[in-house]
Amino acid sequence: MKEKFVINIGRQLGSGGKAVGERLARIFDIPIYDKRLIKMAAEHSGFSQDFFEKADEKPSKGFLSTLLGYLRSPVTSDDGIYNNPLSNDALFKMQSDVIRQRAAQESCIFVGRCADYILRDHPHCVNIFISASREDRIARLVSLHGITAEAAEKMMDTADEKRAEYYNYYSNRTWGAAATYHLCIDSSVLGLDGTAAFAEEFIRKKLADIL
């Protein structure tokens, strides 16, 4: 049976990380999971998708935990986490289970969601971080969302701060730091197609024993 592999992509907002992931998904003919994980985790857990959307890439000390903190009980085990479904820790645990299940069943790509840390023991994984210049990121967000450059810059900085806080909280690693990943690429240098091609070459070399 062919060995399964995973590609995990971290990204700055507006860097085109998801677009690069979609290109790699087509190249390797494997599925890509991003926002779909929220729906899948909700279906897996039986809880409302709304809980997952509110907690998406936010650490436990964020919005949902603060709002519902009085409902939380001390968490001392995995069972305790599951019995406290409204905490961000519980939602992270459920989403992590879905990520592990998908990685065990098929080769695939995960965008964000701390997947590189969750799958740190996977024997065949490639962890990539996509960045870009502020100018390119702002321009991309303006084009995608039809907003002003000022609004795009605010959106970008807010999202990156939340992503870093989420990743650092759950992984005890540093979001965006070169030592955290196998490969870091500035998509402004090569463009999205060039970045995907460069990443493909790296992936094939790193996973040469199974690809």
* Annotated domain spans of the chain: 6-206
The tokens 């650490």 sit on which residue?
Answer: 59
The two three-digit tokens of residue 104, written as one number: 């065990």
Q: Which of 185, 149, 179 is nearest to 20 (CA)?
A: 185
pLDDT value of residue 164: 94
User: What would the 3-class secondary structure string for the chain be?
Assistant: CCCCCEEEEEECCCCCHHHHHHHHHHHHCCCEECCHHHHHHHHHHCCCHHHHHHHCCCCCCCHHHHHCHHHCCCCCCHHHHHCCCCCHHHHHHHHHHHHHHHHHHCCEEEECCCHHHHCCCCCCEEEEEEECCHHHHHHHHHHHHCCCHHHHHHHHHHHHHHHHHHHHHHHCCCCCCHHHCCEEEEHHHHHHHHHHHHHHHHHHHHCCCCC
pLDDT in tens, the chain (211 residues): 589 999 999 999 999 999 999 999 999 999 999 877 666 666 666 555 565 555 555 555 544 443 444 344 333 334 443 444 456 777 788 888 889 999 999 999 999 989 999 999 999 999 999 999 999 999 999 999 999 999 999 999 999 999 999 999 999 899 999 999 999 999 999 999 999 999 999 999 999 999 9
The pLDDT score that the predictor gives to residue 95 is 83
| Tally of CA atoms within 13 A in the half-sphere of 130 that contains its CB | 30
CATH topology of domain 6-206: Rossmann fold (3.40.50)
